[in-house]
A and B are shown apart, each in its own frame.
Chain A
Amino acid sequence: MRVLVAMSGGVDSSVAAARMVADGHDVVGVHLALNRNPQAYRSGARGCCSLEDSLDARRVADTLGIPFYVWDLSERFAADVVDDFVAEYAAGRTPNPCLRCNEKIKFSAVLERGLALGFDAVATGHYARLDGEGEQARLWRAADAAKDQSYVLGVLTHAQLRRSLFPLYGTVKADVRAEAEALGLRTAHKPDSHDICFIPDGDTAGFLSRALGEREGDIVDTAGRVVGFHSGHHQFTVGQRRGLHLGVPAEDGQPRYVLGISPVTNTVTVGPQEGLAITRIDGIRPTWAVPKPRLGQWRGLVQVRAHGAPLPATIDADADTITVTLDEPAYGIAPGQAAVTYDGDLVVGASTIAAAR
């Protein structure tokens, strides 16, 4: 096959590329330039889009003896991921930009461009198992549960999955590093990236304040009493406990959490943990990782954040919406995040959380 490998400059995609070469595919590496000003970033260790990362990816491609190119997708990334990220926060929701990037950039813009140019598939360094070909393609959780990234791939449609390859699926991270070391790849000991790549200093609240401006508002309790002030509702996420700086102590002496965000009134509501208990999730814009939408009512698992636990649930789906009823209450479920549904370890589909109660 002719395979396009998305090479971020990290160890995972480096080994993914190496394995594609070892499997005998005709491999081309492509680094996605996503940030408009990659030189601005100091270090390659904490993002996936700096100039250093691009050079690391290029040197790995040199070592593997494969062609390598940089594709400038910064305009699309800014429009589809960064602007969306800011708009979602402005609307009081909590988006997942990595998921959005997979959906709109890696497995959409890049995949489609690659297919048009004559490639058969796009490979990435994600940890997830994809087996079966064509109609039989199915996405499963990775062997390394700690690194499993099936959640951020849950937004892919079956049509996209048919053209995707995840060569790392059966490997644990330590073995990936050892393999990179044995191959002499210079990314073997590069630290993992954890932050949002376009917020390299990790200060999401500061980034949002720069993008949206600061506007003072009230923090209220569930009875509507003002218990504090904030400088912009976008600095909060449902389920957040730290950094509330409340002036009035809770009557029951228990910690308080962000229960809700109202962008219209610029109000953040806080309350005890019980107020976060969720048993029902309404999802919109469902996508399906399986060939046919699994409509109607069925038993399965749902995951609502990147490193969250799978929660047993009853799922009720139609063409436009999904309703998830959890067996046990869950806490800190934020609108805007994706609810990815599983059948055991099989990824079934995803939808965006519109409401949770």
Chain B
Amino acid sequence: MRHYLDHAATSPLRPSALHAMTSAWSQIGNPSSQHTSGRAAHALLEDAREQLAEAVDAHPSEVIFTGGGTEADNMVVLGGATAGRSGGRPQVAVSAVEHPAVLAAAHALGAAAHILHVDTTGRVTEPSLAGLAPNTAWVSVMWVNNETGTIQPLASVVEAARRVGASVHSDAVQALPHLNVSFADSGLDAMTISAHKLGGPVGVGALIARRDAPLAPVSRGGEQERRLRSGTVPVALAAGFAAAAAETVAHRADESQRLAVLRARLVAGLEALPRVHVNGGEAVCPAIVNATFEGTRADDLLLMLDAAGVDASTGSACTAGVHQPSEVLLAMGRSEAEASASLRFSLGWTSTDADVDAVLVLLPDALVRARAAAKR
């Protein structure tokens, strides 16, 4: 039996999502068509939109379906920059630990991008927020970091953005499954969510955006989604997304407590090991544990855990099959060696005590071996 501790990469499909999709796939018709079949497909799509809006405490008209979290993030950073330029606000500010969907898009803007520094726990610092330029169009700071689980001080981010008149976006992909996410209460102008991190299908996400959010389309076409996102919306994927989100939110409070207990046990077990440090500070999502195993290569630990039936991850980018030092940990001030010696264990709706036990049983020996191997 395998132990899956990589929910932050993708979470197993929930039966409710599979069920919703199975019935939706058999509905023919393009939701933009005016005939009976089209109207039926459109009705299913709008059912999904309403269900999803309720799950994130937003208005249905604020839900823009996308091909996933990456597209939604790009729509804000790139589309927000385009809209900002025409409004005399060319700057976009993002934190140094954003997901590549935000960070790489920001880098593509060149000098128009401003990077907000983080402290050693990965939270954006007050001085960096205080330094926001008055010509900033958008500020984008993720709700929960995908590698470390660190929860960002969003209220401070919103307040700082308001002071300079900037709009605020947050990538809430990792937050929605585990934290109390209310778009209405957040003060955000836009928020990214993704289906497959909470047990929905891969290939669909959404940008939740206020009607007055200053955005311009990034890709061009039929302008199906509020004239901002083009392309036929996959109705069945939207239905699966909405069903998974509804189920997630219905059980989220209890489920988060359950995972917090698992996480605490995993953290305690890790910290009992020699020269192992858990990253991310105290304000951390209950589903993610990131730890540095000094004197190892993360790849070696993963190989041994994999062979023993545990699916874990570094959480960071892989180039041609080789893990690169985590940019997130480097931004948090870790050395290249530390950033190459860190693993992420992430929990979700299928996680059990047995999963945590498996990791804690395997790690002591794996650690000794990986440290010996790293000296070779």
Contacts and interface: CB of A to CB of B under 8 A. Distances in A.
B131 to A, nearest CB: 37
Contact of A58 (B299, B306, B321, B322): B321
Contacts of A112: 373, 376
A39 B370 CA distance: 29
Given A113-B373, A116-B372, A116-B376, A33 B321 contact: yes
Consensus secondary structure, chain B interface: helix
B267 interface: no
Contact of B303 (A31, A33, A38, A117): A117
Contacts of A339: none
Interface in A26-55: 28, 31, 33, 38-39, 51, 54
Contacts of B300: 113, 117
Contacts, number: 44
Given A113-B373, A116-B369, A28 B303 contact: yes
A70 interface: yes
Nearest to B300: A117
A117 B374 CA distance: 10
A52 B13 CA distance: 32
Contact of A69 (B321, B369, B373, B375): B321
Nearest to A26: B307
A71 interface: yes
B376 A118 contact: no
B320 interface: yes
Contacts of A39: 320
Contacts of A51: 320
Contacts of B307: 28, 67
B376 A69 contact: no
A328 interface: no
A215 to B, nearest CB: 37
B304 interface: yes
A72 interface: yes
Interface in A189-235: none
A67 B320 contact: no
A244 interface: no
Given A28-B303, A117-B369, A117-B370, A38 B376 contact: no
Nearest to A69: B303
A71 B299 contact: yes
Between A38, A39, A116, the greatest number of chain B beta carbons within 10 A of the residue's beta carbon is seen for: A116
B292 to A, nearest CB: 19
A28 B375 CA distance: 21
Interface of B: 299-300, 303-304, 306-307, 320-322, 369-370, 372-373, 375-376
Given A112-B376, A117-B303, 7 more contacts: A33-B322, A38-B320, A70-B322, A71-B322, A117-B300, A117-B369, A118-B369
Interface of A: 28, 31, 33, 38-39, 51, 54, 58, 67, 69-72, 109, 112-113, 116-118
